[in-house]
Amino acid sequence: MTAAGFRKLALALPGAAEGSHHGVADFRVANKIFATLAYEKDGCGVLLLTPGEQEGMVADAPEIFSPVPNAWGRQGATLVKLAAVKPDILEAALRTAWRRRAPKAPTKP
């Protein structure tokens, strides 16, 4: 996987748009960031997950996923090693991050 592949998969999610945060490409839904390429120079993308989601992904595939080093990592920001991740795994992980930020479907009265 490459940064271009990460971008393509992120933008394929419903309502996703590319933006920029502090000069770094980010991916948003409903104007809320769900993923970034903040660590692109290190060969990684970043997913904004819950701490529990992060814990599960790191436990399942520590060769692919790891917490971002710092307080953001403790809050669920998760590195994904692009060279190590298969497209289907990345697509599922991006969808998990996207789901956290996507608007909830309205409930019927």
**Is pLDDT at 32 greater than 70 in this prediction?**
yes
Residues 6+ apart with CB under 8 A from 23: none
Using CB atoms within 10 A of its CB, is residue 73 exposed (0-12), middle (13-18) or buried (19+)?
middle
How confident is the model at residue 109, as a pLDDT? 59
**What is the model's pTM?**
0.92
| Segment 24-41 mean pLDDT | 96
**Is pLDDT at 31 greater than 60 in this prediction?**
yes
How confident is the model at residue 106, as a pLDDT? 57
